[in-house]
Chain A
Amino acid sequence: MQMTKWLTGAVAAGLIMSNGTAIARTVGPAGEAATPSAEVTLSDADIAALKDKGYKAALLWHTSSDFTNAVGQGATDEFKRAGIDIAVTTDAQFDAARQRSDIETALAAKPNVILALPLDPVTSAEAFRQAVTDGAKLVFLSNVPKGYKHGTDYAAIVTDDLFQMGKQAADALAKSIDGKGTVGYIFHDATYYVTNQRDQAFKSTIEKDYPDIKIVAEQGISDPARAEELANAMLLKNPDLDGIYVTWAEPADGVLAALRGAGNTKTKIVTLDLAEPVALDMVKGGNVTALVADKAYELGRAMAAAGMKSLLGQETPAFVVAPALTVTKDNVSQGWKDSLNRDAPQSVLDAAK
């Protein structure tokens, strides 16, 4: 019963997780099998064939963050190998209308490849129509416009391994509390499949793989600024929590503040995405025990590679997944490089020495 409910939720969210007997995996919106991003590569001959063609690329995001920067950097570096310039970069700031305007504007530069982070399937469907008509090769990140077909409308969808991120968060938290105890679960209370899938994967992993760990408190959050008060309430009711899962790094700051305010050094936190405040707490041996990140730079590289394959008329995998990465105190320096392709913040490196 519970499984049915969970599956329905996941379908509504856009992607389906096939729940195999051994391990669950992330699959595409139409049930496509995931191709590991490492398999999407260009040969030297491919690179040579792309050079000096005057190809141009466009990066159309709907937000600006460490994540999109790293994806953009990965894509730019990969394109550069084939001499392809990034003609335009845009950020629609979550505004559906602006997304459409950005696409129209970008098309004036006549890009041959467009890497895009669509805002959501419904509002992006009409917005990207002109790009399809103009014949640009589209590679989508995480989301796909409603009704678009692989091969004819777009070249590939690339996404981070959402299920693995949630699962690795569960594994890391379980490890830090020796596989038993009580945990709190702070999930993103909004219909956004990226966080929804990660949150669900954490929960199902704990329930399935760790029978001695009980989720005793669940709290949805939509505004990260309220994380501290929500965490305070949760700790008031459950002062002896062994661990807390927080849906992403920003609200984790608030949870951390609540724990510090209560003088609590025992409860472990695990959260997703790399950010300086939580990383600093982690390397200083505070409450944060692990951060699970995606390989954003690798995502960007794979997007560019898929787009270029499409330009060459080669087959492109419908659904590409970049791996997840668990970052702890021991691998924080390397973790930052693997995920975001840059050095960890100086404060974190200093504290880790």
Chain B
Amino acid sequence: MSSTNQGAAVRAAGLAGRVNLQQYVVYFGFLAIFLFFAIMLKDSGFLTVRNLSNIVLQTAPATIMAIGLVFVMSAGEIDLSIGSTVAVAALAAAVTMQSYGMVPGIAAGLGCGLLIGLVNGVLVAYVRLPSFLVTLATLGLFAGVSRSLTDLRSIPVTNETFTGFFGSGALFGIPSLIWWTAIAVAIGHILYRETRFGAHVLAVGDNARAASVSGISVPKMRLAVLMISGALAGLAGLLYAGRLQAAKYTLGETDLMTVIAAVIVGGTLLNGGKGSIIGALVGSLMMGMLNNGLILMGLSVSDQMIVRGLIILAAVAVSLREKSR
């Protein structure tokens, strides 16, 4: 082998090594945390089938929100409003269902998500306001709307077809929440990785000017990602309503930070241009597992928060460091 070839081989290996590490941080993290809890908590029920399936079921709505956020962040934007969209959608579905039945209820829930996405999208893409500020404002705005419309009451959901479909039901022995997660991840992944749409989202987040001179409509992409995010947050709201058989204005309030952390740990850049749907899924499962394991370790609530914060910090630091060389 000539020396030039060797040099090239070394360089290629170095490149490959770096690329691998950067993409797989979340998988290593997931595995490490899983093994840690599996060993530490082997007598505390962590490894039971029920507990592990609980983790997947509990994270389903957050995973679905995370998919939307991967699109938004890949386009270089952010959507904070998902925190309240979840509650608005769940409440809209619950209230509509009481009078008009299941299908209008579902339509109302998803419609609210899309509508909030549309409002965010128009303000960001066409009025040219920063998405951070727009969605921070709509986060508060729609939290207020869901509080005031329901007078802080909880709305029960009694339609059993609905609660089966979105919550406690199962198909071929697999819980409906897992189906929803699997479908959303599969469609999201293909749309993101294998279509022109996904490529254009990444291009807009990577270099909006380059995208624009390449004939990609940057405003349309910005509008689209925010509407996807809104719709998926709406779906997450339906899943919560189905799972809890009730809707309340506080739904999803604690999810926002978890979802953002899951997406970043999963390998999506805050500034856009790069991301992963599968990474977000694993990131979300990792967050759920972390919550679960820390509770089962018997830590006090404050200690749970501290340890959780430190682990997220470490994971985010590692994944961001790897990417920004």
Closest A residue to B48 by beta carbon equals A108
On whether A97 and B61 interact (CB within 8 A), knowing A108-B50, A122-B156, the answer reads yes
- Interface status of A125 (Cβ within 8 A of chain B): yes
Residue-wise, chain B 249-262 has the 8 Å CB interface mask toward A (1 for contact) of: 01111110000000
| Cα(A190)–Cα(B250), bound, Å | 14
Chain B interface size range: 35 or more
Contact A123 B246 (CB under 8 A): yes
Chain B stretch 116-167: residues in CB contact (< 8 A) with chain A? 151-156
On whether A105 and B245 interact (CB within 8 A), knowing A93-B254, A96-B251, A191-B153, the answer reads no
Residue-wise, chain A 124-155 has the 8 Å CB interface mask toward B (1 for contact) of: 01110000000000000000001000000000
CB distance from B281 to the nearest CB of A (A): 17
Chain A stretch 14-67: residues in CB contact (< 8 A) with chain B? 61, 64
Measured between beta carbons, the chain A residues less than 8 angstroms from B51 are: 105, 108
On whether A97 and B251 interact (CB within 8 A), knowing A108-B54, A109-B44, A122-B156, the answer reads yes
| Cα(A106)–Cα(B58), bound, Å | 13
On whether A96 and B154 interact (CB within 8 A), knowing A90-B295, A110-B45, the answer reads yes
The stretch that binds B, out of A81-89, A209-217, A269-277, A304-312, is A81-89
Contact A126 B246 (CB under 8 A): yes
- Classify the interface of chain B: helix, strand, loop or mixed: mixed
Residue-wise, chain A 89-121 has the 8 Å CB interface mask toward B (1 for contact) of: 111111111101110111011100000000111
Closest A residue to B258 by beta carbon equals A98
Contact A105 B54 (CB under 8 A): yes
CB-contact partner of A95 in B245, B252, B298, B301, under 8 A: B252
Contact B44 A87 (CB under 8 A): yes
Max chain A Cβ within 10 angstroms of own Cβ: one of B44, B246, B251: B246
- Residues of B at the A interface (CB closer than 8 Å) are 44-46, 48, 50-51, 54, 57-58, 61, 151-156, 240, 243-248, 250-255, 288, 291-292, 295-296, 298-302, 304
Q: Which 10 residue pairs are nearest across A and B when measured between Cβ atoms?
A: A122-B154, A108-B45, A108-B51, A101-B58, A126-B245, A91-B301, A123-B246, A95-B254, A96-B248, A104-B54
A to B CB contacts below 8 Å, 19 in the list: A87-B296, A88-B296, A89-B299, A91-B304, A93-B254, A94-B250, A95-B252, A97-B61, A98-B254, A101-B54, A105-B54, A108-B45, A108-B48, A108-B50, A108-B51, A119-B250, A120-B248, A123-B248, A125-B246
Given contacts A100-B58, A191-B151, 15 further A-B contacts (CB under 8 A): A87-B44, A91-B304, A93-B254, A94-B253, A97-B243, A97-B251, A98-B254, A105-B296, A108-B51, A119-B248, A122-B246, A122-B248, A125-B246, A126-B245, A126-B246
